Chains A and B, each alone.
Chain A
Amino acid sequence: MSTVLILGAGSDIAIAIARKFASRGYDIQLAAREADRLKPLESDIRVRFGVDCSIHAFDALSFSSHEPFFKALEPKPEITICVFGLMQEEDLAFEDFDEALRMIQTNYSGAVSILNRVAGYYSRQKHGTIVGISSVAGERGRQSKLIYGSSKAAFSVYLDGLRNKMYKDQVHVVTVKPGFVFTKMTEGLKLPAPLTASPEEVADAVFKSVLNRKNTVYVKWMWRWIMLIIRNIPEFQFKKMNL
């Protein structure tokens, strides 16, 4: 059976994605910085779904380790899902460039570094699917998501470009923009329920988009229209807004 690699496997969304694919019979490779933490999840996936599951140490910020990391994976995954990301306090990131850099390097540089290796392999073997979990925050720059949003914008544009580059090699690239999600990260926030997805809904959307070879997907349908409006507000107006 096919194998799915999940990069950044310690989040609610990653766990839901892993379980979704495992429930459809895929073997799972879980990769995260603190791999030992994933042991309960590894057994959970084996016990519940009877598929193979393995854990792998992976640090998005350790660029030089990415090539050996991917080389060592056996078997090679047919589907690679890049879930990791970092969202810090924007005020902190504005004051302290190290914080900003960590976000930029996690959300953009780290993703590019590993996905270039994966994409290179897929293009040589002429098949494979890459999924990037990006963000609606990357669609237009605004003050409350200054660094996070711009790093996700860069990631989204990278995924677009990669999709274009890989097309001739039958490698498919999916961009997923979840919008608000009820996760551990957002549990202190008051989120509007109709616009907020559960991790399981994100996982369903990811699974369907891989199956149907979608390009860019939003999880809750309303986000497509909300972002259409936000993208089209004239800049002279937008710059005065408090978003």
Chain B
Amino acid sequence: MKKKIANWGNYPAIDAEEKSFIFDDQLKKLVAETEYFIPRGNGRCYGDASLADFTLSTLKYDKMLSFDRERGILECQSGLRLDEILKVAVPAGWFLPVTPGTKFITVGGAVGSDVHGKNHHVDGSFSNHIIEMDILLESGEIVICSLSEKADLFEATCGGMGLTGLITRVKFGLKKIESSYIAQKQIKAENLEEVIRLFEQYKQFTYSVAWIDCLKKGKNFGRSILILGEHAIREQLNEKQIKDPLLLPRKKQIQFPFNLPSWVLNSLTVKAFNFLYYNKNLKREINNVVPYEPFFYPLDAILHWNRGYGKTGFIQYQFVLPLDAKDGLIAILQKISDKGLGSFLAVLKVFGRQESMISFPKEGYTLALDFPVRKGLFEFLDELDKIVLQYGGRLYMSKDARMRPEVLEAGYPELSKFKAILHKYNPSGKFRSLQSGRLLLTKN
């Protein structure tokens, strides 16, 4: 039976047949008898990457296989979610080596998207912490791969959007922590110049990200709040916190009850939101020690926040530009500001160096912003794509639902190598998604 599925952006929504598996033999049977499909985790990529007529859900394939509490090495099945890992790792004094802005993603998804976090400039992306993994190939065979074994498969799987095969097992290293708290510093920047300077000034911080107001013009163009953090050491904790330094934050979640009508979001309401967000910090600089939840996962506290964009959905547009392409960043922000198409949350971050074949991160500035799906949006984004390419940048496939294949090709110089590896391990294109067809990575 087909059911409606969509990823986090609620665009596109399609009818698909989704099947799940608990055991390896069930998985192998499904793979053998399904003509084509895409593996799907918790559906937290934004666009059409994990959508296809047939999907294999990994959510029931979520077992923790081993956890070395001395060395901080976790081995698990691919459907395990990061929030479940935190519950076990944090009390034992370990944290995720890299985490995106939501903990509701699976480990398989973290690998397939090769996710990055606020610490990219220090710790790289998720794949940098993988020791080895198992992948079920089109042939039905499960093979082990790592940087030293079947390195081509390993490289093409990290950021490869599930197209090389279905990741079954991942073994990766965690990060040692003394407490579950974050020593946080927030600094208000009056404009883009200042926030870029601050990023440079505070680059020794493990975690850094800036929220940026895209609608502000004139001398406050690009005003931002830079958010910096370090895992707090015990000396930084207050009396109450020190009693249980590795305490798991209590669950406080509210649910976005329904899709907001799409007219609610307009430049006026977004301006009001941005005004409040920027001015909630009265002082220029705030220093405090907070639990890790609000620091890493502020939006996870509102389940289904994506409903705020209405049922027509939204596109999250994320690109990276090289460090010397500040003008490109200004040009893009200018265009967005002129168009009045701002989003609640535009997030700016500096990536460190990264050598990878198909993963998104590379050294430079990355900006992510949401646009509700409206008439004219895609044409507008095509124009932004041109600027991104002109300055030597590229787009993030996990957020993408609409880029043209030429844009992917121009942004990823090793794309032909990636395609050759896909051809080797997924020759008939059994693993395919709407996105892989659109981007001509598979023949759909």
Q: Report which A residues bind B (CB closer than 8 A).
A: 10-12, 15, 37, 40-41, 43-44, 47-48, 184, 187-190
Contact = CB atoms under 8 A, between A and B. Distances in A.
A187 B19 contact: yes
A195 B67 CA distance: 38
Contacts of B60: 12, 184
B235 interface: no
Interface string B2-28: 010000000000000011111111100
Q: Which of B21, B22, B65, B66 has the most CB of A within 10 A?
A: B22
Contacts of A15: 22
Contacts of B23: 10, 37
A12 B22 contact: yes
B167 to A, nearest CB: 15
Given A10-B22, A37-B25, A189 B1 contact: yes
Given A184-B21, A187-B19, A44 B1 contact: no
10 contacts: A37-B23, A37-B24, A40-B65, A43-B65, A44-B62, A47-B64, A47-B67, A48-B64, A184-B20, A190-B3
Contacts of A12: 22, 60
A40 B26 CA distance: 14
Contacts, number: 42
A159 to B, nearest CB: 27
B63 A43 contact: yes
A188 B1 contact: yes
Q: Which of B24, B25, B64, B66 has the most CB of A within 10 A?
A: B64
A184 B306 CA distance: 27
Contacts of A37: 23-25
B21 A40 contact: no
B343 interface: no
B268 interface: no
A189 B25 CA distance: 22
B21 A190 contact: no
B88 interface: yes
B106 interface: no
B318 interface: no
B65 A44 contact: yes
B77 interface: yes
Contacts of B18: 187
B22 A47 contact: no
B97 to A, nearest CB: 18
Interface of B: 1, 3, 18-26, 60, 62-67, 77, 84, 87-88
Question: Shortest 7 CB-CB distances between A and B: which pairs?
Answer: A44-B63, A40-B63, A47-B64, A47-B67, A37-B23, A44-B64, A188-B1
Contacts of A11: 22
Contacts of B24: 37
Contact of B65 (A47, A189, A190): A47
B20 A41 contact: no
Nearest to A40: B63
A40 B1 contact: no
Contacts of A187: 18-20
A37 B63 CA distance: 12
Contact of B64 (A10, A43, A184): A43
Contact of A48 (B25, B26, B88): B88
Contacts of A40: 63, 65, 77
Contacts of B84: 48
A191 to B, nearest CB: 10
Contacts of A48: 64, 84, 87-88
A11 B60 CA distance: 10
A15 B60 CA distance: 10
Contact of A41 (B19, B25, B63, B67): B63
B22 A43 contact: no
B66 A47 contact: yes
Nearest to B24: A37
Q: Which of B21, B23, B25, B66 has the most CB of A within 10 A?
A: B23
Nearest to A41: B63
A47 B21 contact: no
Nearest to B21: A184
B173 to A, nearest CB: 16
Contacts of A184: 20-22, 26, 60
A240 B26 CA distance: 40
B361 to A, nearest CB: 30
A188 B20 CA distance: 10
Nearest to A15: B22
Given A184-B60, A189-B1, A43 B88 contact: no
Q: Which of A37, A40, A41, A187 has the most CB of B within 10 A?
A: A40
A11 B65 CA distance: 18
A12 B21 CA distance: 10
Contacts of A44: 62-65
Contacts of B64: 43-44, 47-48
A43 B80 CA distance: 14
A37 B61 CA distance: 12
A143 B25 CA distance: 33
Nearest to B23: A37
A190 B1 contact: yes
A63 to B, nearest CB: 25
Nearest to A11: B22
A40 B79 CA distance: 13
B234 to A, nearest CB: 24
A13 to B, nearest CB: 11
B25 A43 contact: no
Nearest to B67: A47
Contacts of B77: 40
Contacts of B20: 184, 187
Q: Which of A11, A37, A187 has the most CB of B within 10 A?
A: A187
A11 B21 CA distance: 10
A190 B25 CA distance: 25
Nearest to B61: A40
A22 B291 CA distance: 27
